[in-house]
Structures are given as structure tokens and as C-alpha cells.
Structure 1
Amino acid sequence: MSDPQRLSLELSIVLPSVSDERDGCVQRLTTALQGQPGIDKAHVKVEGDQPRLCIHYDPAQVPLRKVRELALNTGAGLTERYGHVTAEHGPTHARGARRLADQLRAMPGVLEADASPAGAARLEYDRTVLPDGELHKRLRAFDLRLVDAGAMASPMPTRPEHRASAHNHAEGEHGHGHEHDHSHADEPSHQDHDHHHGGVFGANSELIFSLLSGTLLLAGWLLERTQLISGSIALGFFVAAYGFGGFYTVREALENLRARRFEIDTLMVVAAAGAAALGQWAEGALLLFLFSLGHSLEHYAMGRAKRAIEALAKLAPERALVRSNGQVVEVGVASLNPGDVVLVKPNERLPADGIVVLGTSSVNQAPVTGESLPVDKQPVADPEAALASFDRLAPEHRVFAGTVNGSGALEMMVAKRSGESTMARVVRLVTEAQTQRSPTQNFTDRFEKVFVPAVLILVVLLLGAGLVVDEPFSATFYRAMAVLVAASPCALAISVPSAVLSGVARAARSGVLVKGGAPLENLGTLTAIAFDKTGTLTEGRPRLTDVVASGQSSEAELLSVALSVEQHSDHPLAAAIVTGAQERLGADRPALEVRAVQSITGRGVQARLDDEVVHIGKAALFGEVAGPPIPPDMMAANDRLVSEGRSTMLVRHGSRYLGILGVMDTPRSSAPQVMRALKGLGIERLIMISGDNQRVADAVAQSVGLTEARGDLMPDDKVDAIKKLRGAQRKVAMVGDGVNDAPAMANATVGIAMGAAGSDVALETADVALMADDLAQLPLAVGLSRATSRVIKQNLWVSLGVVALLIPATILGLNIGVAVLFHEGSTLLVVVNALRLLAFEERRLEEGPSAGISTSSI
């Protein structure tokens, strides 16, 4: 057997319809490949910025060409067979979402399905069992509307050249592009229609029916108490209250029974029927009124969260002005293609993601990034090159769909289609995040599955109490029905999803994308955060921070010589010196003529000025070239700057040492305030993990207020550091740029990407994405998560506490009416408590002084 070889392919080439390495199709792909002759192992790993398929094979048994062809053909077969769909339904309650998910999973051909109370549903299905057309018909039967009609497209072409073109085309979530069949676009939308709770009055029908029930109940009770009507007429009022209050409850109970589920709605119907059988019509009507009112508020809470997310999708305009062949024509935003030039008038919303090619203006980016101040925009020098590197483009050249132009007119070149814009991706990812359950929600679901049968067993036992205690059956039955009401975990069912959805919606409003309940809960309970240095804690570009002139020259001479020489170099440190020297010297800088500029690799640069040699470089350079040694006072100053984390360059003209220049990737001005805010929120350990040397890491950590710093780390070392932190702290977040730090972020409890606006990789890899390149959004994310965790705990205590109190109280004789008030009151309380998160206010950070250039003299 020959030595095994490895083939690495981008996952998006092999499976164009899959962008998440955790997708079920990835497991099917690796399993299918590992069963082939000559292939030892197949797995997926994140390398750099993309998930890649790694195949270990024996070249003696199967050639490289065959392995590649096998992988592509297997992937094409899976893409053709398995589809992924995201759909919307009307807001419902947690039990309705679970029932819908169960009904979707029961459909032949559906492999996995999730649904959220706020109205999102996600399915994975097998086309050989359930063709696209049949799936669409069945979804319409459930009143589900496809979020992306492209999900129903024909399978991707199987030829390799088509797959390559599909890869080159920037696709959205699950690869839903735009070369699709949109034949369903003209069908009526059900977005605003609530299938479960619609009716004569639309989505508000249950609330109106509930209020009518309460009005009839109150009128009958008051008129009977004041003896203005007879008991039989009052009974008519109560029966009518039963009808309005129980209409939707009975309907859902019947749906549950047809699905062979025995849920809370069924318990309420049985309890109300029991109260009527005992002649307690007022108590039964009160039960149904409060239960339906609780349902209505539940739907209101979910609708609020859903509308907060839908509001994002409506920010982008529907029409755009396009310059074409010297003419300006108005077209639909959906028809814009990359490369189109669009005119944006003052105070208008931008129609697409793109780059500025003409004009200057300030753009309000708060709808996408959450930034409080407008961002100045200016044209890019090379539009074609900028279009190819949109994710890495400077903020002053890049614009996003849905943001608001200021007072200047702009011309922009479209970079992404409407369905692939940052705004569209955020809406899609948040919609899918609604279907992801948090750990606490999983716990409450498991608890209900055990608790509901236990309650039913208890009620059956209580019905037999007459065999032990001498009392009439009516009293026994009344007690059993009271326990049934008291023990129904309505508040528990809504306590967690309402809080999670409100938290996710509130975060999205401020430019923070949280992918589901698990990251939201984990971020709210962790005590340690690790940071990458470059581009996260620092600006990501070096700056001239120190100018130390010697006794043999002036600061102006030192900067003039350095500027004249370094402007001929393309090194990043040289660019920092040129920019800093120009700022310091202003318009009075002398024009010095330098010649014969040469780079000394790894050390510095030399040139000729006034027939004398100029050397600029590290201290080690001057021990290798001819000339006088470094004076002791300059060496001491150099060592001091190095110990403070500066990269230093000494300047010598002929035999004279002119001074020292200190360059540093300066910390973000907001970093110290952010660290103080995080400590105030209860984060105990703030750790920097960096590839820079330990002295630089220590200097940056001390300047921004971190608790510790770890330098000299390679990418693998960063992963090991995160694993050790997880072992010590159990939970740790990793903050990075979402690309170079992807492996470390993947191993953290919560991966947080900065500057995710416009970056497909950052949006895909992170659990939490800070859309703006602004560290100040981090305390908002942590604070909101902390608040969500508190609300979840409060709701659990209230819901479980009321049940724990009412069960023994009703067994000992508590009136069913009082039990109803406490029971339904707790449901209303947890809903209102969760809605408070939508009004969460972030604490503004005080602006710190920007790092400037310090000067001194020896």
C-alpha cells in the first residue's frame, strides 16, 4: 500500500445547496465517500475561512482525478435528492409550533422540521419521496409561505463546470441563488394571515372572542348579583361566554386529539366541561376567558417579535434608478445584478449592497450595523477590483441595502443581488434562528412530556378519593377539576420562547445578530471572554505613535528624512511612518531628494541623501552595517519603547543618529470603556490571545484593561488556549473577525464576529455577529443576554412556583375560580415580563481619547 494522500475541496463546490457543515447532507456525503474503494476517510473541517471536504485516499487504488470526480458526483446526487426550505406561518404559541413541527415531520419524505412560535419553519426533505411540487401543495395546506421561492428550484446541474460557476456565484443561506423557478411568486401571500387563529376578524379574532367572553361573563355575573335578571337568563350569558371563550380552545383540543396529543388545551376543555357539569358555569366561563386571553397575549408577544424582524426586511426600497447606456431608468430592485450602476438621491434608502463610484455623502447605517452616527462615504479608485474584494473593502467605500443616504447624491455599483444583501441574509438567519431551541426550552419541553401525564394520573386518583373519604362525588369531581386547572403548565410553555424571541428581535434592531436561543443563553451566563488582538482590540493598521529626536537633530529633520525615504517603500510600517510624518509636518515639509533606495530584508531600508547614506531600521541593523554604534541614551530609549509594545526604527544620516520612530497597531479608542462595561456586567476574565510577541500583547492588554494576555500563539495554539479556558471556566466566548479566527471561535462556547456587515464568512461562522466594526456593541450583546437569562429564570420561578403552590392548595379545597385567577395570571405575567426585553436600553459608552502621537526628546 502506498502512502495515503489527501484531497481538499471547498464544501460549497461539492454541495452548492449547503453552507453549514452541520447539515445532514454533509454526514451523508462523508458516509457515502468512506464506503468507496481506496478512500480511507472523509470528513469536513474549517480551514482558513471556509468549510472544506478532506478526503484521505490511497493513490495506488484510486487516482486523484477519480477521487475528485467521485466527490463531485456524490455531492451532485445529494444536491439533486435533498432539498432545504424555509417558510413562514402566522404567529402562534409554543404548543402550536410544536404541533406544526410534528405534523411537518409526519409528512412522507420530510427528514427534519422545526417551527417557532414567531412564525418560522424550516424543513429538510427527500425529493425522491416528496417532489418539490407536492411539497409546495402540502405547505399551502398548512398555510405556510416560502421565504425563498428559489428553495423549490430544480436540482443543481451535475456537470463540474456548472458546479464551479455555482460556487463563484455568491449564494445565500443554503445556496439559494437566483437562477430559479419563481412560478409561485404570484400566489397570494399568507404572511399576515394566522391559520391557527384567524377568522372573521383576521389575526385578532381570538382576542376579540376572548374580550366578548369576558364581557358576557362580567355582565351575567353583575346582573345576577344585582337581581336584575333571573338565574336562567344569567345562565344564558355564561353559556355565551363559554362559546366565545372556548371556540379556539376547543378547536385546538380537537386538533391535538386528531394528532394523538394530549396537551394543555385539552386539559382546559375537560376542566371547563367539568365545571359546567357541576353547575359552576361562572367559574368555567372565567377559566375559558382567561385561558383565551392568555393565548391572545401569547400570540401578541410572538407577533411583536416577528414584526420587529419583518421590519428589517421592509427597509430596502422596491425600485431603483439604474444608469444604462447613458440613460437613467427605473427598475425593480429584484432585477439588479452585480456591476449595475445605481443613482441614489439625497435622503433616500439604498437599494442594494455595493460600492461608491461617484459622489460623497454621509450614510446612516443604523438599520444594518446599529451605528449611532452616520458614516462618511467616498468613491473607490478601482471599482472592478473593489467589487472582487467587497468583504475586505474599507467602510468609506462600502454601502448596504436599507441604509439611508444623507445630503449628497451618490452613484453606487451593485455588489450583490437583492436576495443576497446583508440585510436579506440577516433577516433569513434571524428567521432560522427562531427555530433553534435554547437549553432551557429543551428542558421545559422534556418536563412537560413527563409532567402532563403525571397530572392526568393524579386527577384519576383524585376522582377515586370518594372510595377513601366520605364525601359526595360532586365534591370529589370539583376538586379533581380544580387540580387539573391548577396543574396545567401554560405559563411554563410560553416562559422561555417568548423571552428568547424578544431578545433575538431586540438584538437585531441594534445591529447584533444572535443565532438562536442557545447562544443567547450561553452569552448571558459566561464569565470569560477571549479576544483576538489585531483588528479586534486594535484598529488593525499600524500608526506612528512615538517620535523621539536625538540631541543631534530636530523632530522636523527626523520626520522629513524618514518621510523622504519611506515613501519609496511599500511595507505597512513604512506607510504608517509616511502618513504620520505628513500629519505632523503639514504643508511645511521640505522636499528632500533621495536616491538609490534599497530594502534590507528583515532589517530596514537604506538610501542616499546629500551624498551620504541614510539607514532606517531595527536596532539590529546598525550592528551589521558600517558606521558608529548606537549611542547608549538612544539604546535605552529604544528598549523603553520596545518594552511598551512599539515596533521601533532608528534613523541615521551619515554618522549622525537623528532619532527613533515608534510604530504600533493602536488600541481602539472605545476598548478601555468596553472592558470596564464588561467587568461591570460580571465578566471576570478578559483574555487576549495573539500571535504577536508577549511584550506587545502585555502592552496592549494593559492599555485597554484586560485581565491577562497570551502572546506568541499560532492558530493551533489559539484553539488549545480556548479549550483550556473552557476547561477552567466551563463557558468562554471568543471575539474575532470571523475569518482568521474561525477555528478558535468554533471551539468557544460562543463565537462572536466583529464587522460582519457584508461578510458572508463572518455571518456563517459566528454564533453572534456584531454587524458594525465597533467593539462598543459587545456590552449591548452581553447585557441583553444577561437580561434575557434573568427574565427566563424569573419566568421559570413564576410558572413552576404557581403550579407548586396551587396543586396542594386545590387538593386541600382551594376554589376553582381562585385557581383560575392565579393560573392564568401567571401566564399573563410571564408574557409581559418577556416583552420587556423589546424595550431593553443599552448603556452608552463614554468616548475615550484617541491615541495620538507622543513626542519627547533625549
Structure 2
Amino acid sequence: MKKLQLDLPVLLPDVPDQKDQCVHRLMSLLDDRPGIDKLHIRSATSEHPDQLCIHYDPGIISLDRVQTLARQTGAEITHRYGHYVGRLQGIRHARQARTVSQQISRWPGVLSAPVSASGAVRLEFDQEVTSLDTLFGKLSRQGNPVQAPAPDQHHEPTHAAHEHQHDHDDTHEHDHTQEKEAGDAHVHGGGHDHEHGGIFGPNTELIFAILCAVSLAIGFGLSFVTTLPDWVSLILYGLAYFFGGFFTAKEAIEAIRQGEFEIDFLMLVAAAGAGALGEWSEGALLLALFSLGHALEHYAMNRARKSISALADLSAKTATVRRDGKAEEIDVNALRVGDVIIVKPNSKIAADGVVIKGAGPVNQAPITGESVPVDKTAMAGNTDPAKANAESQVFAGTINGTSVLEISVTKAASDSTLARLIKLVNEAESQQSPTQQFTDRFEKWFVPAVLSLVVTLCFAFLVIDEPFSASFYRAMAVLVAASPCALAISTPSAVLSGVARAAREGVLVKGGRPLEDLGELTAIAFDKTGTLTQGKPQLNKIVPLSGTTDEQLLSIAVAVEGLSDHPLASAIVQGGKEKLGDTSIPDASSLKALTGRGVQAEVAGQPVFIGNKALFEEQKTLTDAVRQQADQLEAEGHTAMIVRQGDTFLGVLGVMDTPRPEARQTLSSLKALGIQQMIMLTGDNQRVADAIAQEVGLTNAKGDLLPDAKVQFVQQIREKEGKVAMVGDGVNDAPAMAKSTVGIAMGAAGSDVALETADIALMGDQLDKLPFAIGLSREARRIIRQNLFISLGMVALLIPLTILGIARIGPAVIAHEGSTLIVVFNALRLLAYQVKSADGSK
């Protein structure tokens, strides 16, 4: 049995991620082929993107045939199924979003169409049945046009495929291709911006609600003037009916045309029923409070919606580019990889790239949430832009400081970190949380039950001694009391506010599920290198022996290690030069790497060996005194490097990847938030792991772990604790993150792999954002529970009160609309969330 690994973005270039249904379609079609044993997805790493791993029997099917089948099947699926992630206009609330989603899902060829309360939509459709242009046209005709997408920049894939035969007889194929544009559609259609409004613009609904209330107030006041005929007040009540019911009736009619039932239509029925009974003032009061409450609800929801929409406003519209020796201003969508753009002081940076000239601070807060500007310097002249360090990388949407910077573009505008962030936030908004799925299921049986109860109550006069008008009035009051408006908005409003608040802080939360799951955690697993530690070894300990001075030991070590490019050698050279100052360093020559043990060179005609204990044990020269010093350093978490010149041991150097300065405070804050288990997983030896764990305050540490062992350990924690998060850099930790309940990637800005693999991405390389993310999730869960209690509690209270006739329509609608506004404004508290530090301060 052999296996073939094919890059998924090449087989299915337009799918958003490995969870897309098209991936399952591809695997299902290939699984039926003779000779193919099994298929699975291999998560992305720094070396490769997501891959489809195909296990096949070469005695039944050849390698070429497997490759051909995979490519042909992928091409057929790509040609047939389209995807689009964008935003619909005119979506005013969660109930309308659900109605629109159900409408679109019934259109021919549409396979999936989740829509969020903010208008984010994710379409999946069969292009043999429909097209994106057709869908856009239908959406425009029903009053929900799509925002105009960015101009297309199609890229032709380059099929530079090469295969590697591994020792374990696996075949691994890499197909490298440029990434697609962030529009995420197989085809793009036009659209136009649209604000739900009317003759008074986007505020028409609020103005109509106010006119309704004014008409009601004047009509009610004039009803006490005995000299005026009754029809004067009736006309004013009629105006209140018109202004208060206009938008609800408009949405209800649109929904009914599409075969849907808008729950708010029940309010119109109740108001009409009150009017039929001659209770025009109560009907007008119902519509006035209902329309005013909904207008305020939509206004409040717009605050959260605008917090997310503001991401799109971060990008610059034009860029000054130098071409053919001339500077010209062009649209950012016309930028090409390799272009050099000139960014003036206090201007937005137009594209992801690397600084090639100039230096100065850059405000990265819009992307990473860092409160302090980050100093940027030009990369070295011979450095590959793809490998430039963080000090040279810049991102679209960030703001240049006081210097002029020249930047080499590394990504097209549609592929920038900001573009991907906007796309992923839109996807996150369209994904329902577990609580929202529960409330949707609850409403499906609750609403028919309420309607059945209302119809039954209409005939109560047949059982009890009362007129039909009294029974009908009671039924209308119950209809108002039982309408689950507050329940429908309780969870979406909290999720939307939570995602918006997180994005503003440089934390990407991919939907309601990770937002809720993160708040339930009691255990977190951490990668060590680059997560809890700085990822850069440093020279920490100098232990001279045999009467050698620190300067003599360091000068010999720096001379030899200066010839090596190993990370430990670089740490010794950098740290040694800082401590030596102006001390002269001798010349070294004849460097020889001793793999896994150290290095050998010559200084002043004498051989010099620098390495670990195994090197000198192999030479049978290691003394007990030297071993004792090396053991002591290793017990403290250092990597011990022994230095011997000729027959003399000069000393031992301790090199250590030091913990991040903020690590201890961060873990202390997590403990204060209720995280009981904080475990570090590392491939380093157990003594190093224990030393780091003790220094930063971990509850446990597991060393000597290979990547597969990390995955197994995460699975063990999950089985024991129920849920666990894995925090890493999103690259080599991707398998363990995929196995965890919530995968959290650090330093995701600029990292495609981290953005795709993580459920939550900390855009900046800031571990101290983790308590904020967990605290926000805890607060979101609390608010969601509060909202459910308020909405369900109010319904449970009002239904018996209206059935018994204790509460009339007026008090019922006040309580109904009051509970809806309470849950919305309660959810909006998340927009102002601030995490508390370990000492209780914010």
C-alpha cells in the first residue's frame, strides 16, 4: 500500500477551507474507485498547505492514474460548484436574516446559504443549475442586493509539480499555485450598495415609529375633547396603524410571497384584531411600541454591524507606486507582487509587503491590536522577501508613522492579511453557535404551538360564559405575549457583538461555536517555542573552568561559533559579543559540524570542541566536574554547551530559549479566569520543560514529544477534561490544534496557515491577548444565558397572565418590546468589554 499527498488548494482552488462540502464530495467520489483504500486530509504546516492524502494499492491502480483521477474529479467539482462569501444589504435583524436564508436555500441550485444578522452571507451553489449573476439578480429584486465586490484579479495557476520518493515508500506531490483572490467566488457578479430605508433615508423606520407614537398620543388626547367627533381620533389612530405597521407588513408580504412566515406578522394580526373589536387605541399602542422597539433594536444592532464593517474601511483606496523610475498613483487593486510603493508619513499602508528603504514606527493596531507602534526597518539587501523578519514586514490597513517608507509588495490587495481577515470575519458571522441552533430548533415547535393555542382560545366563549369579543381579545393578547422576538435576537446579537469586539482587539473569532466553547474551557495546552518562550535562544549562563576567565572562554567560543549558522551558535555569538565589548576575538578556521553533538575548529593552532555531553563521552574525555556543571545547567532548563581547547576544558555555556516577559502574568490571569489545567507540550527534554513550567507558572509540562505524541496528548486531555484549547503558532502545531476543541494561533497576521487552521487567531504575536479572548468568551456566554433567561422568562410569565386576563394587550406589548430591547442592549455590553487583570483591575 502506498500513499499520495496532493495539495488541496490545487485540486479545489476555490473552496474556503478543508471543511467545505466540496472536499467531502471529492473524497466521496474518489473513495469509490477500485484500488483506492482510504482518503484523509493532512492539515497545513509551514511546509505545505492542506493536503488530500490518498492511500492506494499500486497492484490495482497506478500512481499516474490516481493523480489523473484526483485532478479530473477536482476540476469537475470546481467547474460545477460555486462559492461566494460577502454581505447582503437590507438585513435589519436576525429574524429577517433567517427568513432570507431559508428563501435563498429553496432557490434552484443553491446548496447552502447561511445569513447572519449583520448581513454576512456564504453561498454554495450548483453552477449547472444556476449562476452567481442569477443569484445576485434575485437578491436585488427581493431587496437584498450584494455589496459590490472588489474588481477581479484572476490568477492562472502554475503547475510546477514535483514528486519526492520517501524512504517509507510514500509519494508526495507539491503543486504550487498562486492563491486566489479573496472574493471567494468562482465567478463574480455586480451589485450595488443599498441601505434599508425609504423617503427619509436609512432613518425612515425610526421616523415612522416616532410618527406612529405622535399620532397615537394626539389621537388619544383628542378623544377626551367631547366637542370633537370620534372620527378625528380614529383618523389619527389609522395614521398610527399605517406608520407603525408599514415596515412589518412590508417584510411579512415579501416573506409570504416567498412561502415563508414572518413571526412579526403576528403583531399585525393582533393589532388588526384589536381594531376589529373597536380597541383602536390599544392596537395603535401595540404598533407604536412594537415599531419603536424594533427601530431601536435595529439601530443598536447597527452599532455592532458597523464595528465589523469598519474593517473594510481600513484599506487604502490608492497607492503611490514606482514603475519605470516614475512615481504614479494607482488603485490598490492594480498593484502587482514585486511593485515598490512609497508610503508617506501618517498614511495608510496599501498592501502587505516588506520595507526595503527607510525606517520608523508603524501603528499595527488595526490588524494586530497592538497598542504601541512597532518600529520597522529595511530588510537586508539579499534577503528573500518571503523570509523577511517581523521587523521588516508590514500589513495593509496599518498606519505609517513619521518616516517615508518604500515597501516591496508581497501580496496582491485581494490576498492581503486584511482582505483575508474581512473574509474570515464574514464567514464567522454566518456560522451559528450551539445556543443559536438550539433556539432555532425551539422556535420551530414553539411557534406552531402558540398559533394552535391562540386559535383554541378564540373559541373559549364556547366553554366559558363570555362573549366572543372577550375570547378573541384574550387570544390576541396571548399572541403578543408569546411572540419569541427576544429569543430570536438574544444569541445572534451577543455573537455579533463578541466577534466585533474581538476583531477590534486584534483577535479573530471564527464564529459562535468557538466563541462559546472557549468560555467553557478549564484546560489549555501550550506549545513551548515561540508561544510561551520568545523562540530565540539566548546565552544565559557562563561557567568558566580550569582557571579560565569569562573573557577567555567567550572569545574562543565566539570565534568558533561565528563560523556556524546554527541557532545555538548564533545565540552564543550574539550574547558573547555583547559581553566582550571591545575585546579582540581570535581567528578560527577549519570548522567541522559534528551532527547532533556540536562543532570542531582550530584556534591558535589548537583544536577546539564545543558541544554537548555526548560529544565528550564519545571521546572519553568528560570529567566528573564538567559533567556536574553541565547537569546543573540542564536542570535549570539550559542547553549546556561544553568548550574544550586542546586538552583543557575552558568552561560550560548555558543557552536557553527564555520565557516571554508576559508569560507569567498571562498564566496568572488565566488562573484567575478559572483555567485549572495549563500544560506545556514540547519536543525539548523533560528537564528543560520542567524548568520553563516552574518559571512561568504552568501546572504541568510534557517534554520529549514528537508531533504525533502532541496530538495524542491533546486527545487525552480532551477525554479527561471534556474540552481543551491548543495554543501554538498555527504551523507545526496544526495537527494538535485540529484535535483540540478550540485551536488558538498566535502571530497570525501575515500567516495564511495560522489564519486557516485556527478557530481563534491572535493577529499579533502577543500572548497577553489570550486572557482577553477567554474573558470575552466567558462574558459572552454569561450574556447569552442571561438573554435566554430574560426572553424565555418573559414569555413564561406573560402567557399565563394574558390567558387569565390579568394582563391586557398594552402591558403585554410593553413587556414584550421591553424584553427585546433588554437582550439587545445587554449583548451590546460586549462591545465595551475590558479584561480584568489578575489583581482584579482592568
Matched AA of 2:31: Q
Q: Distance in 2 between matches of 1:600 and 1:58?
A: 41
Q: Conserved in 2, the CA contact under 8 Å of 1:17 and 1:174?
A: no
Q: Which residue number corresponds to residue 33 of structure 1? A: 30
The alpha carbon displacement at 1:300 in A equals 1.9
Q: Identify the match of residue 562 of structure 1 among 539, 557, 560.
A: 557
- Asked if the contact 2:92–2:117 (Cα under 8 Å) also holds between the matched residues in 1, the reply is yes
- Tell me how far 1:804 sits from its aligned partner: 0.6
| Matched residue type, 1:589 | T
- CA deviation profile, 1:720-756 (whole Å, cap 9, x unmatched): 1111111111111111111111111111111111110
Pair 1:702-2:702 in alignment: no
Alignment of 1:212-611 (within 5 A): 212-225=211-224, 231-382=230-381, 386-389=384-387, 393-550=388-545, 552-586=547-581, 588-611=582-605
State how far apart, in whole Å, the 2-side matches of 1:181 and 1:492 are: 37
Does the alignment pair 1:621 with 2:618? Answer: no
- Tell me the secondary structure at the aligned position of residue 201 of structure 1: coil
- Using the size of structure 2 for normalisation, the TM-score is 0.94
Question: What is the CA–CA distance in structure 1 between the aligned matches of 2:316 and 2:472, rounded to whole Å?
Answer: 61
Q: Deviations over 1:174-194 (max 9, x none)?
A: 865xxx987x56x6x22x422
- Cα distance in 1, alignment partners of residues 227 and 575 from structure 2: 90
What's the CA shift for 1:530? 0.9
Match of 1:760 among 752, 755, 764: 752
SS at match of 1:589: coil
Inter-partner Cα distance in structure 1 for 2:771 and 2:138: 44
What is the identity, as a one-letter code, of the residue corresponding to 1:193? E
Partner residue of 1:17 out of 14, 18, 34: 14
Aligned partners of 2:556 and 2:585 also within 8 Å: no
**C-alpha distance 712-147 of structure 1, shift in aligned 2 (>3 A):** farther
Of 512-521 and 53-62, deviating more is 53-62
Amino acid corresponding to residue 838 of structure 1 in structure 2: L
Does the 8 Å CA contact 2:182/2:419 hold for their aligned counterparts? no
Preserved CA contact (<8 Å) 1:16 1:166: no
Q: In percent, how many aligned pairs have the same letter?
A: 54
Quote the residue 2:70 is aligned against: 71
Q: Which residue of 1 aligns with 2:832?
A: 839
CA offsets, 1:642-676, max 9 Å, x none? Answer: 11111001223344433221011111111111101
Evaluate the alpha carbon distance shift between residue 324 and residue 301 of structure 1 in structure 2; reply closer, same or farther with a 3 A threshold: same
Residue aligned with 2:321, SS: strand
Q: Which residue of structure 2 lines up, in the alignment, with residue 817 of structure 1?
A: 810
- What is the CA-CA distance between 1:172 and the residue it aligns to? 4.4
Measured against aligned partners, the alpha-carbon deviations of 1:344-384 in whole angstroms (never above 9, x if no partner) come to 1111110100011111111110001101111111111246x
Structure 1's unaligned 5+ residue stretches are: 847-858
Contact 2:153–2:181 under 8 Å retained in 1: no
Alignment: residue pair count: 825
CA deviation string 1:803-823 (max 9, x = no partner): 111111111212221111111
- How much has 1:524 moved relative to structure 2? 1.4
In structure 1, C-alpha distance between the alignment counterparts of 2:452 and 2:302, rounded to whole Å? 35
What is the SS of the residue equivalent to 1:61? coil
Which amino acid counterpart does residue 704 of structure 1 have in structure 2? V
- Alpha-carbon distance between aligned partners in 1 of 2:685 and 2:256, rounded to the nearest angstrom: 66
CA deviations 1:12-61 (Å, max 9, x no partner) are: 11111124112111122122222334333334332645221122333233
1:687 is matched with: 679
Partner of 2:125: helix, strand, or coil? Answer: strand
Give the deviation of 1:329 after TM superposition. 1.2
Which consecutive unaligned segments of at least 5 residues does structure 2 have?
163-172
C-alpha displacement at 1:73, in angstroms?
1.3
Distance 1:376 1:151, change over 3 A: closer
Change (3 A) 1:96 1:228: farther
Looking at structure 2, the residues matched to 550 and 534 of structure 1 have their Cα atoms a distance apart, in angstroms, of 31
- What is the alpha-carbon distance in structure 1 between the residues aligned to residue 58 and residue 150 of structure 2? 40
Query: 1:321, 1:158 → 2: CA distance?
Result: 28
SS of match in other structure, 1:357: strand
TM superposition shift of 1:254: 2.3
Kept in 2, the 8 Å contact 1:253–1:269? The answer is no
Q: 1:712 aligns with which of 699, 704, 716?
A: 704
Moved more, 544-553 or 521-530: 544-553
Supply the distance in 2 between the matched residues of 1:601 and 1:32 (Cα, whole angstroms).
Answer: 47
Q: CA separation of 1:775/1:741 partners in 2, compared to 1, >3 Å: closer, same or farther?
A: same
Structure 1 Cα separation of the partners of residues 158 and 665 of structure 2: 54
Structure 2 CA distance, aligned partners of 1:806 and 1:46? 51
SS at match of 1:17: coil
**What's 1:856 paired with?**
none
**Which amino acid is the alignment partner of residue 286 of structure 1?**
L
Q: Is the 1:112–1:123 contact (alpha carbons within 8 Å) kept by the matching residues of 2?
A: yes
Shift of 1:77: 1.2
Matches within 5 A, 1:658-697: 658-697=650-689
Moved more, 223-232 or 765-774: 223-232
1:159 and 1:33, CA in 2 relative to 1: closer, same or farther beyond 3 A? farther
* TM-fit CA distance, 1:153: 9.9
- 1:484 & 1:531 partners in 2: Cα distance? 52
Query: 3-state DSSP class of the match of 1:471?
Result: coil
Q: Note the C-alpha offset of 1:427.
A: 0.8
Give the whole-Å Cα distance in 1 for the aligned partners of 2:543 and 2:76.
Answer: 66
More deviation, 639-648/231-240: 231-240
Q: Secondary structure at the match of 2:684?
A: coil
Q: Which amino acid aligns with 1:597?
A: L
Which residue type is aligned with residue 641 of structure 2?
Answer: M
* Deviation, structure 1 residue 202: 2.4
The code of the aligned residue for 2:479 comes to L
Kept in 2, the 8 Å contact 1:546–1:661? The answer is yes
Question: 1:162-173 maps to which residues of 2 (within 5 A)?
Answer: 167-173=176-182
Alignment pair present for 1:777 and 2:769: yes
Counterpart contact for 2:182–2:423, Cα < 8 Å: yes
Shift of 1:173: 5.0
Distance 1:606 1:493, change over 3 A: same
Query: C-alpha displacement at 1:770, in angstroms?
Result: 0.5
In structure 2, relative to structure 1, the CA distance for the partners of 1:712 and 1:704 (3 Å cut) is same
Amino acid at match of 2:258: A
2:50 aligned counterpart, secondary structure: strand
